[in-house]
Amino acid sequence: PSELYFTSCGTESNNIALRKAADCLGIKHFISTPIEHHSVLSTLKDIVKQNPDIELHLLEVDEKGNYALEQLEHLLQKHSNVMVSIMHVNNELGNLSDLNSIGALCSSNDALFHTDAVQTVGYFNFDLSNIDMLSASAHKFGGPKGIGILYMKKGTQLDALITGGGQERGLRAGTENVPYIAGMAKAMALCYDHLIEKSAHIKSIKSYFQDSIRTKLPQIKFNGDVEN
């Protein structure tokens, strides 16, 4: 519980993670991809604009929206004081990132790793051992709109984003929205109680949709890595 902070949404969680890391943790290099959600990519570009001593490195992406872990490893070995922000599943292409491999690379090179997991919390199990920060939003897994989570590994110290009464262990002052938090908790519990059957159901819908379109429109091409 001490590693969870309640926010208003995934966008706010991403902003807190990235902006406060730049302010408080001595980050000099951010590594991300050019196909991140705007709440990550626009935030990173704004951070660099406001801080000329911070650099943003974007991994090269191929025609299917995939990037090479070799390039990430090269950048991690080349630079110090690094934070990596790569989303778990792309919200437009559906491409799935290997969080365990990315997290292991970051850990072995003393870099912080943040992931925007807004699309996947509630639908995947997560190993957080090599993830320093993770963003999620309740409405993506059946909870109410207007409530989100920032997971932040114990030992990470950030200054207050909003000052006031000291709620959320001093990071985000203001009265918590308890009914929405309860709704989010219930929705998440239901998701993970039925994770296996729900995952199988979603995969079957995806296969049916793709097969049906290919039958009626054989010339169609799908964006992204459709087999991932």
C-alpha–C-alpha distance, residues 128 and 135, integer Å: 12
* DSSP labels, 16-49: HHHHHHHHHS---EEEE-TTS-HHHHHHHHHHHH
CA 7 to CA 21: how far, in whole Å?
16
pLDDT, position 8: 96
| Residues 32, 85 contacting (CB under 8 angstroms) | yes
Query: Which pLDDT score, from 0 to 100, does residue 68 have?
Result: 93
Measured CA to CA in angstroms, residue 114 lies from 83, 180, 213, 216, 222 at distances of: 7, 24, 36, 41, 28
Distance CA 147, CA 188 (A): 12
Rg (CA), the chain: 18
Decide if 109 contacts 77 (C-beta within 8 A).
yes
What single-letter DSSP state applies at residue 110?
T
Among 153, 158, 149, which Cα is nearest to 18's? Answer: 158
Q: What is the pTM of this model?
A: 0.94
Residue 16 and residue 172 in contact, taking contact as beta carbons nearer than 8 Å:
yes
Question: What proportions of the chain, in percent to the nearest 5, are helix, strand and coil?
Answer: 40, 15, 40
Q: What is the pLDDT along the chain (228 residues), one digit of tens a residue?
A: 899 999 999 999 999 999 999 999 999 999 999 999 999 999 999 999 999 999 999 999 999 999 999 999 999 999 999 999 999 999 999 999 999 999 999 999 999 999 999 999 999 999 999 999 999 999 999 999 999 999 999 988 888 888 999 999 999 999 999 999 999 999 999 999 999 999 999 999 999 999 999 999 999 988 888 766
Contacts of residue 62, Cβ cutoff 8 Å, sequence gap at least 6: none
Query: Which residue from 57, 63, 52, 61 is spatially nearest to 32, judged by alpha carbons?
Result: 57
Per-residue tokens: 75: 């950048």
Distances from the Cα of 127 to the Cα of 58, 124, 205, angstroms: 25, 10, 27
Q: What angle do CA 140, 94, 191 make, to 5 degrees?
A: 35
